[in-house]
Amino acid sequence: GQQVMQIPQYQHVQEGEDFTTYCNSSTTLSNIQWYKQRPGGHPVFLIQLVKSGEVKKQKRLTFQFGEAKKNSSLHITATQTTDVGTYFCAGHNDMRFGAGTRLTVKP
């Protein structure tokens, strides 16, 4: 199956700081999905990107899909304690997930 690499594995930030996680694929993706898993919870769908170069926003979250459709990023502006969790990307070619980035936020 495709390889979807996600970095960093962990990120600890002070509340109010920004946060970015990156997802890279070895192959071109038809689309990419992002999920959030709260501690003790299950992954919950956030958004899907389909078009080359696409940028989508959800309040403080900005999602980007690379021009070559091989990479993607999730950026959170001014993190809050409610952003705590693990963020996963998934290449939709065959639903392989990245290893996730675990975000912790210090109040």
Return residues touching other proteins (CB under 8 A).
1, 6, 9, 30-31, 33, 35, 41-45, 48, 50, 88, 90, 92, 95-100
Nearer to other proteins, 31 or 73 (CB): 31
Structure tokens at 23: 């997802």
Cα three-residue angle 23-93-58, rounded to 5 degrees: 50
The residue behind tokens 């962990």 is 10
Nearer to other proteins, 49 or 76 (CB): 49
Q: Cα(104)–Cα(85) distance, rounded to whole angstroms?
A: 7
Structure tokens at 74: 């999730």
- Smallest gap from Cβ 29 to other proteins, in A, equals 12
Nearer to other proteins, 2 or 77 (CB): 2
- Smallest gap from Cβ 9 to other proteins, in A, equals 6
Nearer to other proteins, 20 or 31 (CB): 31
In contact, 63 and 56? CB cutoff 8 Å: yes
- Smallest gap from Cβ 95 to other proteins, in A, equals 7
In one-letter notation, the amino acid at residue 3 is Q
